[in-house]
Amino acid sequence: MPSLFSSLLLGDLELPNRVVMAPLTRMRSRQPGNVPTALNATYYAQRASAGLIISEATQVSQQGQGYPATPGIHSEEQVKGWQLVTDAVHDAGGRIFCQLWHVGRISHRSHQPANGLPVAPSAIKPSGGTFSADWKQVAFETPRALETVELRGVVDDYQAAAENAEAAGFDGVEVHGANGYLLDQFLQDGSNKRDDEYGGTIENRARLLLEVVDQAVSVWGAGRVGVRLSPYGTFNDMSDSDPVGLFSYVLSELSRRRIAYAHIIEPRASLAGGQEGTNSDAPRTSEIFRSAFTGALISAGGYNREDAMRVVEQGVADAVAFGRLFIANPDLPARLERGLALTPYNRATFYGGAEKGYTDYPFAAQ
C-alpha cells in the first residue's frame, strides 16, 4: 500500500516522499526587473525536504504579470536569479519545478507593456480587483480580447519560458492552467465567448492549453512536465456550464501526451488560500477525475495530515500538495510523518516584505 511518506516515480523523477510544496505567490522578487534573489533561494532551500517543490507562479512574459513583485522567467537577469534558487535547492537535496504563468485578464495596465490593457480570450471584466505595480488596490479593467494571430506569440512565450527554466537549472515545469488565469480563461465558457478555433466547443477551448503543453514537452520531454487545473474553481470569477465534460476531455488529452502529472485543486479550497476554512460540501474532484487521467495525480487544497494520508493510501491521489502549512513549517514532511505540532502561519506576512514570515519560521529541531 502506498503511503504519503513512501517514494514515488513522477514521470522521469524519483521523489523520496509524496508531500509536495504547492506553488505559493509571495511577491518578494527584486525590483526593478522581477528577479529572484538570495533570500528566495534561502526560502526554497529550507523546504527542500519536500518530495517536490513547485515554484511560485512565474510569469512567462511582461504581458503575463498581474501582481507586484512576482518573479518572471523571460529575461537573462531573471534566469540568473532562478539559478541561485535551483542551486540552493539541489545542494539541500531537493527537486524543483518552475510553474509557468500568464494571468490574462487578472492584471492591471500598470503591469502591462506600454500601459496597455490586460488581455483575455474575450473582453469580459472579472469582478473584484488586484494590486497595481505600486501596490495600490485597483479594480479590474475590461480586458482586450486577443486576436487569433496573437495566440502563436503567447505559445512562443511559454516555449521560451520552458527553455529558460531549463537554463536556470529547474528539474521540470508545471503549466499553470488553473485559478482563473489565462489558460483557464480559455478553457471555461464563463470567460471564453470566442467564435474562432479557440472558442465554442470543448475541443476548441482546450486548444491553447494543449498547444502550450506540447511546446513544454518539446523542450523537456513529457516526463518532466506537469499541468495544474482547478475544476469547479470559482476563484477570479470563473465558471463553466459542463466542468465534468470539459476537464474529463482535458485530462484525457494530457493522458495521451503521457505527461509526468496532473495537479488538481480541490474546489473546497477554490478561493486559492484567500480565506480561512474550506467548503466541505464541494465535490471531490480528485475522486471525480481520477479515472480520467492515467498518470500520477497530485491533489491540493485544504488538506490536513489525516486526510492527506487517507487519499494516498486509498489511491485517490498519488501525492498531496500543501501550501499554507509549508509556509510556516519548512520541515513539513518530517512533522507530518512524526505527527509533530505544526507552527501556525501569519497571513499578514504572506505577500511582500522580507525575512519576516518568509525565512524565519522554525524547524521542529529548533
Q: Is residue 103 within 8 Å of residue 60, measured between CB atoms?
A: no
Mean pLDDT of all residues in the chain? Answer: 95
Indicate the pairing of strand 137-139 with strand 96-101. unpaired
Taking the C-alpha atoms of residue 218 and residue 215, their distance in angstroms, rounded to an integer, is 5
Q: Using the structure block, give the residue that is written with the C-alpha cell 485517490.
A: 316
C-alpha closest to that of 21 among 277, 337, 332: 332
The model's confidence at residue 288, banded by pLDDT at 50, 70 and 90, is: confident
pLDDT reading at 282 higher than 80: no
The model's confidence at residue 273, banded by pLDDT at 50, 70 and 90, is: very low
pLDDT confidence of residue 366: 66
pLDDT reading at 103 higher than 70: yes
pLDDT confidence of residue 271: 55
289-302: average pLDDT: 93
pLDDT confidence of residue 280: 58
pLDDT reading at 188 higher than 90: yes
SS3 19: strand
At position 163, the amino acid (one-letter code) is: E
The model's confidence at residue 279, banded by pLDDT at 50, 70 and 90, is: low
**328-360: pLDDT as tens digits:** 999 999 999 999 999 999 999 999 999 999 999
27-54: average pLDDT: 98
The model's confidence at residue 287, banded by pLDDT at 50, 70 and 90, is: confident
Q: Is residue 262 within 8 Å of residue 321, measured between CB atoms?
A: no
Residues 6+ apart with CB under 8 A from 336: 4, 5, 19, 305, 308
At position 154, the amino acid (one-letter code) is: V
DSSP assignment of 304-327 equals -HHHHHHHHHTTS-SEEEESHHHH
Active-site position among 43, 44, 67, 181:
181
152-158: average pLDDT: 98
pLDDT reading at 59 higher than 80: yes
Taking the C-alpha atoms of residue 42 and residue 15, their distance in angstroms, rounded to an integer, is 21
The domains found in the chain, sorted by start residue, are 8-349 (3.20.20.70)
Task: Give yes or no: 181 in active site.
Answer: yes
